[in-house]
């Protein structure tokens, strides 16, 4: 990727460029924003470091790449964390600057920045990149600052302090000092006062005088003046104002590892500096406009759509899919259009919009059409429509066409408020895989963290691990842990459930290793967290393994954790003390038996939430049907094959047992946030028939006096799979239920 690097002159932006080169990118230009008045050292800016800007002009000659500069004309007008295009804001100067770089060097596709911990800065860079169709690269993001500072020094970053503003830093003593000499003292201040050793809290700012990227010359500061901005006795503030400097040529210059002709052209013009002029544009670029209305390519009347939704008032799921698709499906794009339009209309009917959506399960019939699905998706669900954060998402290929459900199927998880906290990092970094587009890494809502499906991607390169399913799983778990840490939790202690999607490409001999590897990873991570005092208690999570035809990028494994993140750190954890089994009546002739306990896993946070995975394999199914046949000779002895009658019997057993589990855990059906029934295509029971079985069973349950709301739409979702189960080695359930309930 050809990259323009945003540089302030500080150590972070320079080291970020070095990381870009390490990961195979080319720095073809640098870009800098500076005060309109050259005599001014520092602006009152939330966004830009400008101290030392008088020297940054020499970077073009030092590096042998063109420097694009623009005087900052805007100010801080849009102060909310998530940025929207605002005329007169200082962020628009960055847009104007990078737009000019892109115009002059059309091959530029990436933007490097030195963001380490500031969401404010990162989100604004990502916003500008999104509008310009560029990729944000932030390789320092979320890195350990102590290790990072050492890396910079070890790898040849020679930088001096040009501003100090923290307890323990004295302008008269510490300005102009090299980071290598100041490093031990910064660590001491961290221990004493908790400062950020890389200066991410504004404790200090730096100016890079030399680094391996300065292939032609290094900067020598001849004379400077210390200017005090505050004489505060505890934390005085001062800046270094350069008065004179010169360049010291290096004995042998070389390029930055690029053979690109455009780069070589600029390399010959070592001092090339482009001053980007012009006022703020009065109109908004097309990319940042509110999305134009989506063309009505699909009329809903042309499709027979199946809708389901849970009945919990404050948080519920809505599912939309085609039925009878053999006669109505016209391909993925139109099927997905129909599904999206229907869900959008249902949201509007209920007074909601896409901004209320927490999570989206996107199921498609052919992963080879992922790009088409994504293009269609982003026309409906945009950042502009989701000012409180875009939903997290999981995309899976399912055997939809085999069971007559069309080419696209979507389930959305909706909240009736805007209290969600969304983590959406679009920058490529070393932290975790980026989400470039209107889908986020994770969404926290009312103590439940819904994490997007994680693949075994190497974050800096966004490529899959090459060691097979086990290596992919480990990397996916590492990525999940990185996301969890942003919410001050861990998948090893806060996870209540894991759904592991396994591709059919995994050899059967390797599937059993998946579960072992996951257990080892979680145990080791839990021990590490205990040893470091990061966490004190841990849940015993439940697991569901789902066999699917394919996953994004051809991945072998996708991990989807669900975590409980307590508002109160003293929140008790663990399973609730159950009521007596005799407190739950039997239905449809079912009575409690000890073997029922082997059919389910559950994790309960008392008074908070309950998650259940219920699995019915062939052995308990045979028992379910046989027990009933003993008392009903008229049904015939057909228990050796799963007929529709037997499946109907199994469906009632599932609902009986779920009702028992929910009740004994202290919850009601009205607490249900979502309920999914996974069924294998090998079952050979039509989806509509299966749906009717569960619907009738719920209606009968309600008629028996159980407190359960049933409406015109089913309260459950049917999910066709190739297999599912509680073990990665035997994903052969006849039916698998996944339920999440939460007290309001």
- Going by pLDDT thresholds of 50, 70 and 90, the confidence category of residue 736 is very high
Residues of 236-246 as b/e, b for ≥16 C-beta within 10 angstroms?
bbbbbbbeebe
Average pLDDT over residues 63-92: 93
CB 605 within 8 A of CB 742: no
Q: How far apart are CA 90 and CA 98, in angstroms?
A: 13
Q: How far apart are CA 453 and CA 466, in angstroms?
A: 19
On the question of pLDDT at 263 being above 60, the answer is: no
Residue with tokens 């509680």: 726
Q: What pLDDT is recorded for position 326?
A: 56
Q: What pLDDT is recorded for position 38?
A: 86
Q: How far apart are CA 367 and CA 334, in angstroms?
A: 16
Q: What phi-psi label fits residue 13: left (phi over 0), alpha (psi between -120 and 50 degrees) or beta?
A: alpha
- Going by pLDDT thresholds of 50, 70 and 90, the confidence category of residue 567 is confident
Of residues 5, 41, 453, the one with CA closest to residue 213: 5
Q: How far apart are CA 466 and CA 5, in angstroms?
A: 30
Phi and psi angles of residue 462, each rounded to the nearest 5 degrees, phi first: 55, 35
Pick the range with the lowest mean pLDDT from 105-114, 444-453, 570-579.
Answer: 570-579
CB 541 within 8 A of CB 420: no
Tokens of 188: 């001491």
- Going by pLDDT thresholds of 50, 70 and 90, the confidence category of residue 536 is low
Statement: the pTM of the whole predicted model exceeds 0.85? yes
Pick the range with the lowest mean pLDDT from 504-513, 554-563, 668-677, 701-710.
Answer: 701-710
Q: How many helices and strands in the chain, by DSSP H and E? A: 17, 30
Of residues 514, 470, 357, the one with CA closest to residue 422: 357
Give the tens place of pLDDT for each residue, 303-349. Answer: 578 888 887 878 889 999 887 655 556 789 999 999 999 999 999 99
Q: How far apart are CA 603 and CA 666, in angstroms?
A: 13
- Going by pLDDT thresholds of 50, 70 and 90, the confidence category of residue 272 is confident
Q: Tell how far CA 323 is from the center of its chain.
A: 31
Spatial strand order of the sheet with 735-742 comes to 600-605, 609-616, 735-742, 672-680, 717-721
By residue count, the chain amounts to 744
Phi and psi angles of residue 611, each rounded to the nearest 5 degrees, phi first: -125, 140
What are the C-alpha distances in Å from 389 to residues 67, 434, 520, 628, 676?
35, 15, 34, 51, 26
Q: What pLDDT is recorded for position 706?
A: 79
Q: What pLDDT is recorded for position 222?
A: 96
Residue 629 neighbours by CB under 8 Å, 6+ apart: 635, 636, 637, 639
Average pLDDT over residues 717-741: 95
On the question of pLDDT at 630 being above 50, the answer is: no
Please indicate whether residue 382 or residue 637 has the higher confidence score (pLDDT): 382
Q: How many CB atoms lie within 10 A of CB 256?
A: 20
Pick the range with the lowest mean pLDDT from 6-20, 78-92, 543-557.
Answer: 78-92
Q: How far apart are CA 226 and CA 237, in angstroms?
A: 10
Please indicate whether residue 598 or residue 578 has the higher confidence score (pLDDT): 598
On the question of pLDDT at 629 being above 50, the answer is: no
Determine what percent of the chain is predicted with pLDDT higher than 90: 74
Strand 357-364 relative to strand 392-397: parallel, antiparallel, unpaired?
parallel
Of residues 36, 32, 57, 56, the one with CA closest to residue 279: 36
- Going by pLDDT thresholds of 50, 70 and 90, the confidence category of residue 195 is very high
Of residues 310, 303, 300, 322, the one with CA closest to residue 713: 310
On average, the pLDDT of the chain sits at 88
Give the tens place of pLDDT for each residue, 635-666. Answer: 444 333 478 889 999 999 999 999 999 999 99
Tokens of 682: 């090998």
Residue with tokens 């002029």: 277
Of residues 566, 489, 471, the one with CA closest to residue 525: 489
Determine what percent of the chain is predicted with pLDDT higher than 70: 88
DSSP class of 201: T
Q: How far apart are CA 14 and CA 151, in angstroms?
A: 12
* Highest mean pLDDT, choosing among 14-18, 230-234, 726-730: 14-18
Q: What pLDDT is recorded for position 508?
A: 87
Please indicate whether residue 574 or residue 371 has the higher confidence score (pLDDT): 371
On the question of pLDDT at 534 being above 90, the answer is: no
**H/E stretch holding 564:** strand 557-564
């Amino acid at each position: 990727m050809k990259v323009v690097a945003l540089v302030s002159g500080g150590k972070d932006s320079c080291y970020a460029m070095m990381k870009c080169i390490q990961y195979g990118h080319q720095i073809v230009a640098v870009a800098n924003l500076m005060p309109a008045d050259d005599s001014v050292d520092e602006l009152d800016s939330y966004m830009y470091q400008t101290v030392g800007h008088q020297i940054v002009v020499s970077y073009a000659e030092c590096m042998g790449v063109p420097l694009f500069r623009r005087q900052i004309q805007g100010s801080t007008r849009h102060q909310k964390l998530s940025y929207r295009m605002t005329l007169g804001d200082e962020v628009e100067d960055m847009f104007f600057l990078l737009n000019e770089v892109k115009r002059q060097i059309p091959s530029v596709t990436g933007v490097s920045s030195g963001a380490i911990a500031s969401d404010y800065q990162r989100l604004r860079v990502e916003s500008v990149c999104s509008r310009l169709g560029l990729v944000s690269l932030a390789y320092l993001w979320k890195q350990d600052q102590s290790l990072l500072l050492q890396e910079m020094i070890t790898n040849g970053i020679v930088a001096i302090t040009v501003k100090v503003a923290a307890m323990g830093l004295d302008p008269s003593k510490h300005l102009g000092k090299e980071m290598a000499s100041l490093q031990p003292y910064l660590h001491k201040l961290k221990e004493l006062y908790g400062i950020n050793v890389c200066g991410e809290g504004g404790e200090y700012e730096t100016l890079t005088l030399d680094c391996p990227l300065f292939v032609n010359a290094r900067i020598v500061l001849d004379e400077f003046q210390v200017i005090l901005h505050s004489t505060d006795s505890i934390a005085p503030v001062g800046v270094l104002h350069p008065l004179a400097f010169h360049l010291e040529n290096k004995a042998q210059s070389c390029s930055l590892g690029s053979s690109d002709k455009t780069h070589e052209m600029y390399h010959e013009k070592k001092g090339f500096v482009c001053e980007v002029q012009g006022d703020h544009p009065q109109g908004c670029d097309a990319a940042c406009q509110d999305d134009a209305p989506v063309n009505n390519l699909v009329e809903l009347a042309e499709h027979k759509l199946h809708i389901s939704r849970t009945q919990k008032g404050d948080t519920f799921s809505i599912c939309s899919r085609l039925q009878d698709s053999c006669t109505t499906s016209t391909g993925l794009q139109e099927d997905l259009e129909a599904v999206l339009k229907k869900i959008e209309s249902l949201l509007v009917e209920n007074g909601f919009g896409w901004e209320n959506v927490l999570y989206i399960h996107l199921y498609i019939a052919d992963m080879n059409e992922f790009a088409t699905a994504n293009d269609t998706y982003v026309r409906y669900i945009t950042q502009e429509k989701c000012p409180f954060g875009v939903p997290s998402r999981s995309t899976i290929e399912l055997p939809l066409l085999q069971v007559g459900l069309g080419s696209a199927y979507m389930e959305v998880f909706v909240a009736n408020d805007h209290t969600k906290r969304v983590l959406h990092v679009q920058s490529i970094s070393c932290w975790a895989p980026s989400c470039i587009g209107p889908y986020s890494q994770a969404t926290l809502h009312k103590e439940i963290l819904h994490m997007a499906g994680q693949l075994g991607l190497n974050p800096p390169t966004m490529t899959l691990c090459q060691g097979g399913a086990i290596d992919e799983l480990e990397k996916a778990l590492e990525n999940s842990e990185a996301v969890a840490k942003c919410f001050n939790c861990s998948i090893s202690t806060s996870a209540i459930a894991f759904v592991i999607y396994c591709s059919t490409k995994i050899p059967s001999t390797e599937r059993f290793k998946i579960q072992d590897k996951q257990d080892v990873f979680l145990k080791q991570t839990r021990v590490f967290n205990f040893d470091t005092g990061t966490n004190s208690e841990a849940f015993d999570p439940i697991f569901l393994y789902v066999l699917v035809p394919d996953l994004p990028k051809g991945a072998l494994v996708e991990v989807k954790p669900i975590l409980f993140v307590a508002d109160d750190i003293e929140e008790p954890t663990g399973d609730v003390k159950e009521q007596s089994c005799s407190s739950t009546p039997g239905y449809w002739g079912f009575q409690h038996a000890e073997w029922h306990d082997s059919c389910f896993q559950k994790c309960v946070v008392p008074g908070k939430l309950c998650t259940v995975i219920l699995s019915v394999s062939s052995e308990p199914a045979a028992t379910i049907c046989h027990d009933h046949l003993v008392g009903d000779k008229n049904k015939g002895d057909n228990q050796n094959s799963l007929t529709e009658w037997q499946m109907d019997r199994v469906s009632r057993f599932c609902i009986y047992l779920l009702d028992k589990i929910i009740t004994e855990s202290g919850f009601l059906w009205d607490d249900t946030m979502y309920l999914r029934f996974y069924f294998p295509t090998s079952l050979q029971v039509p989806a509509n028939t299966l749906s009717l079985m569960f619907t009738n069973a719920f209606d009968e349950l309600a008629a028996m006096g159980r407190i359960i709301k049933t409406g015109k739409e089913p309260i459950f979702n049917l999910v066709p799979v190739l297999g599912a189960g509680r073990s990665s080695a035997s994903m052969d359930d006849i039916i698998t239920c996944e339920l999440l309930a939460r007290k309001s």
